[in-house]
Structure 1
Amino acid sequence: MIRILKLCVAALTLCCAAAQAHQYHFGITDISFNQKTGSTEVVHTYQADDIAALLQNLYQRQFDLTQPEDEAVLRKYVEKRFWIEGADKRRLPLHWVGLKAGAETVEIYQEVENSPLSKAALIHDEVLIDFIAAQANTVNVSEGGKIRSLSFDRQKTDQPAH
């Protein structure tokens, strides 16, 4: 009986440690202008388990982001929740380049083709914020050798780009 009790305590301890291993929910997006291509590049990085939980919650199934049809589902989600507006309040044409899914992170690549970063007036970032209450996203805007960091959460989903 004592042996079973010890096993239960050990299992409970491991479960609690696993649950606490991922207390912070955050995403990081880097936006910069590529002079070689003339395009503004956007790279998002999110925790893989947060993306998996989101998709599981929305569609009640497992996703394999290496499959084009599963990548398309994530693409649709991201494109509805992240955008860049110009001074005319119209969304800049943000094109999906692709993604890289690893065990720890999911990296998403987008670009505004043939457009300098100076055309951006506003950034909207609500990725995972609508799903995880504690989600906090940081967008790093690199322009002219300077990096400006913007913070996004449930109270603040829009920020000036400059």
Structure 2
Amino acid sequence: MRFFKAVLLAALISVGAAAQAHNYHMGLTDISFNPRTGSTEIVHTYTAHDVEALLMNLYQRNFDLGLEEDQAVFRRYLEKQFSISANGKRLPIQWVGMEAKADSIVVYQEIEKTPLPASATLHDAVLSDFMPTQVNTVNVAGFGRPAQTLVFTAQKK
């Protein structure tokens, strides 16, 4: 009986720890210039669980982000929530692809044959419309100016 209580206590502690383990919601975006192609490359990384929870909330069904048709749903969402503008006009960000890993979703985009203008304005509301505690960090480097790190939240998009 004592052993059973110890096992039960250990199980309850680990379940509680698992519930507490994912209380920080974050996304990371790296924007850089590729001098070989002349294009601006954008790589987004999000927690798979958060993306799946968002899609489940929006569409009330499970998604397999390894499937192209389910990736297309997330693509439409991401393209609404993330944009780059210059001189009041949205820049044409091309979708390159997406990798769905067990713990993360990685999205590849580019602005073909265009360096990021110094006057560019970023809008990043990915997942922060769904999770108010979402923090999106954007690193911008390689455009002939010092690297910058920008932080976006539900209050600062």
Say whether the fold is shared (TM-score over 0.5): yes
**2:66 matched to 1:66?**
yes
Match of 2:137 in 1: 138
Match of 1:20 in 2: 20
Shift of 1:14: 2.1
**2:47 matched to 1:47?**
yes
Question: Does structure 2 retain, via aligned residues, the 8 Å contact 1:27–1:137?
Answer: yes
Shift of 1:9: 3.6
Q: Secondary structure at the match of 1:117?
A: coil
Taking the aligned partners of 1:11 and 1:59, their CA distance within structure 2 comes to: 33
Which segment drifts farther, 9-18 or 98-107? 9-18
Shift of 1:107: 0.5
Taking the aligned partners of 2:85 and 2:133, their CA distance within structure 1 comes to: 25
Taking the aligned partners of 1:48 and 1:120, their CA distance within structure 2 comes to: 32
TM-score by length of 2: 0.91
Question: What percent of counterpart residues are identical?
Answer: 53
Question: Does structure 2 retain, via aligned residues, the 8 Å contact 1:39–1:116?
Answer: yes
Taking the aligned partners of 1:139 and 1:73, their CA distance within structure 2 comes to: 23
Q: Secondary structure at the match of 2:89?
A: coil
Q: Secondary structure at the match of 2:58?
A: helix
**Unmatched 5+ stretches in structure 1:** 158-162
Question: Does structure 2 retain, via aligned residues, the 8 Å contact 1:84–1:120?
Answer: no
Match of 1:108 in 2: 107
Match of 1:125 in 2: 124
Q: Residues 87-102 of structure 1: matches in 2 within 5 Å? A: 87=87, 89-102=88-101
